[in-house]
Amino acid sequence: MFGIQGRLTLLFVVIVTLVLGISGTYAQYSLSHELEVNNQRLRQGVLTRLQTSLPSALWDLDKAKVDNIVAAEMLPPELVAIRVYDTSVGLFSGKLRADSGSISAIESDTAVGGAPVVADLAYRDAGAAGSAPKPVIVGRVVVNFSRAQMDATLRSEVQRKVIEVLLLDSILVAALALSLRIVFDPLKQLRDGLHDLATRGSDEVGELPENRRDELGQVIRGFNAIQRRVKAIIGRTREAEDEARRAAQETAKALDDLRRTQESLLQAERLASLGGLVAGVAHEINTPVGIALTSASILAEATEKVHQAVADGAIKKSEILKYLETASESTKLIMNNAYRAAHLIHSFKQIAVDQVSEARRRFELREYIGEVVSSLQPKLKKTHIKVDIACPAEIVLDSYPGALAQVITNLTLNCVEHAFEPDAEGRIAINVKPDGDWIEMQVVDNGKGIPPDMLDKVFDPFVTTRRGQGGTGLGLNIVFNLIAKQFAGTITVASTLGQGASFVLRMPRVTPIESGPGSAEPHADAPLHV
């Protein structure tokens, strides 16, 4: 990196070089243009003279005269060769300039260097008396011109300009080096003092001598005054740094506590959701189990009566028929309600185990969504909301079913609680379609929609429209964190007031290994969700 002295020298050198370069370029252009004009004038002059003097000599077949005319025109060094052709004979006469500059006659039509210019030679015959002369083509002349002389002149001019620029730059560098040294030597002392003050302890740096009486001496005295002030500032800065370090440690500890609190709140919300599911399923199972127990009691009582009648030997056909009717009806009730209870227990058991264990496994998506929705029936049957599922049967995921059950549960219950008024009829659709190695799941309702001012904040923690009515504002935040961190996917929301809302989830069929539970740490620049 150049210092100020080097940059000033370079600046002046560049300016001088640029000015001389522009001036030289313009001079070179002017010289080139002038040489080009002279060359063109030479060409026109040679051709004009040859077209004037050669036709009569060629008409008379006077070879000596033609040779003299050609030799006279070969005097300029720009001419390489002149060849005169007769209309019948061919090459009539010609002269060629060798590389050494000597001129010799051309005996045969051989290749010649330079740029050729061809012109016809016309002889004007006097004709009959009183008539205008008629031009007669008696031959042609080919003149080869060379640009070597012009190119040499241009190269010589370029070399002269380059030498001039280099000489002036050398003189300028030497003059600047001598003049700037007077100023920059004291400045180097100041630089060294500043460097020592910055890299060494402030107490180890001594003040610069103040024996100069010129402008730089004033600068040195100002530097010493600044140095004394800097030492005082450094002392206060060290105290502030120690205080800031202690504050940073306390802030880091508070941030760790805040993150642990966030995880605790999220886990508590998930367990609370599971607890609500347990209570609902337990209440739902109570009905079929009670009916089965009552039917079994009735069947047992009827069996006891028949057994007693058989033991007494007083059994009647009507009693047997009545018993069979009671047994058939009781068996049917027991079977139906036992099957109903078993189906509820199976669905709840699988979902509850998935949510608690957070284990990864392969599962068929449509069947699992159906189990999740079945586990929500205790809450859904109290409403007039219908849930439809549209999912191809061949979609199999290798992922975390418990987390997916949490996502579907939170999205569905969010629609139930926020999209519809109490006792209002509605519809929730869960639509799934494959997209290569990914799937796209859409949860759509036809409810009242999300206000525009809330649309950008629905995934933020503690954002709810049911504050004080049981809403925590963590449901959609949990969904966002699970989709982004655990499934390595994305979730977006779109809504129009009065036309419902649509949540679109995109996730890979095979969840990446690094996206497992607890593997994703919050980015330093990401908003902290608590």
CB of 344 closer than 8 Å to CB of 284? yes
Domain membership of residue 194 (yes or no) is no
Instruction: Out of 65-79, 341-355, 362-376, 463-477, pick the least confident.
Output: 341-355
Give, for 340, the enclosing helix (H) or strand (E): helix 317-357
Domain boundary among 291, 318, 350: 350
Tell me the pLDDT tens digit for each residue of 132-157: 667 888 888 888 888 888 888 888 88
Domain membership of residue 184 (yes or no) is no
Q: Structurally, how many domains does the chain consist of? A: 3
Domain membership of residue 403 (yes or no) is yes
Domain membership of residue 177 (yes or no) is no
Domain membership of residue 187 (yes or no) is no
CB of 448 closer than 8 Å to CB of 419? yes
The structure's pTM equals 0.41
Residues 334 and 370 in one domain: no
pLDDT of residue 433: 94
**Cα–Cα distance measured from residue 207 to residue 225, given in angstroms and rounded to the nearest whole number:** 9
> 32 exposed, middle or buried (CB, 10 Å; 0-12, 13-18, 19+)?
middle
pLDDT band at 508 (very low <50, low <70, confident <90, very high): very high
pLDDT of residue 473: 64
Domain boundary among 305, 330, 350: 350
Residues 490 and 375 in one domain: yes
Residues 30 and 47 in one domain: yes
pLDDT of residue 516: 60
**Cα–Cα distance measured from residue 8 to residue 302, given in angstroms and rounded to the nearest whole number:** 117
pLDDT band at 354 (very low <50, low <70, confident <90, very high): low
Domain that holds residue 162: 4-166
Residues 365 and 452 in one domain: yes
pLDDT band at 239 (very low <50, low <70, confident <90, very high): confident
Report in angstroms the alpha-carbon separations of 525 from 432, 483, 488, 493, 522: 33, 19, 18, 23, 8
Residues 439 and 307 in one domain: no
Residues 326 and 375 in one domain: no
Residues 156 and 269 in one domain: no
Domain membership of residue 219 (yes or no) is no
CATH number (domain holding residue 375): 3.30.565.10
Residues 239 and 326 in one domain: yes
pLDDT band at 529 (very low <50, low <70, confident <90, very high): very low
**Which whole number is the average pLDDT over 199-214?**
66
pLDDT of residue 460: 82
CATH number (domain holding residue 123): 3.30.450
**Cα–Cα distance measured from residue 458 to residue 277, given in angstroms and rounded to the nearest whole number:** 24
Domain membership of residue 91 (yes or no) is yes
Tell me the pLDDT tens digit for each residue of 391-444: 998 899 999 888 888 899 889 988 888 888 888 889 999 999 999 999 999 999
DSSP 114: S
pLDDT of residue 523: 37
Look at residues 178, 28, 1, 182 and name the one whose alpha carbon lies nearest to residue 170: 178
pLDDT band at 521 (very low <50, low <70, confident <90, very high): very low
Domain membership of residue 199 (yes or no) is no
Domain boundary among 332, 350, 368: 350
Tell me the pLDDT tens digit for each residue of 268-294: 666 665 565 565 556 567 777 778 788
Residues 363 and 341 in one domain: no
In this model, does residue 1 exceed pLDDT 50? no
Residues 153 and 8 in one domain: yes
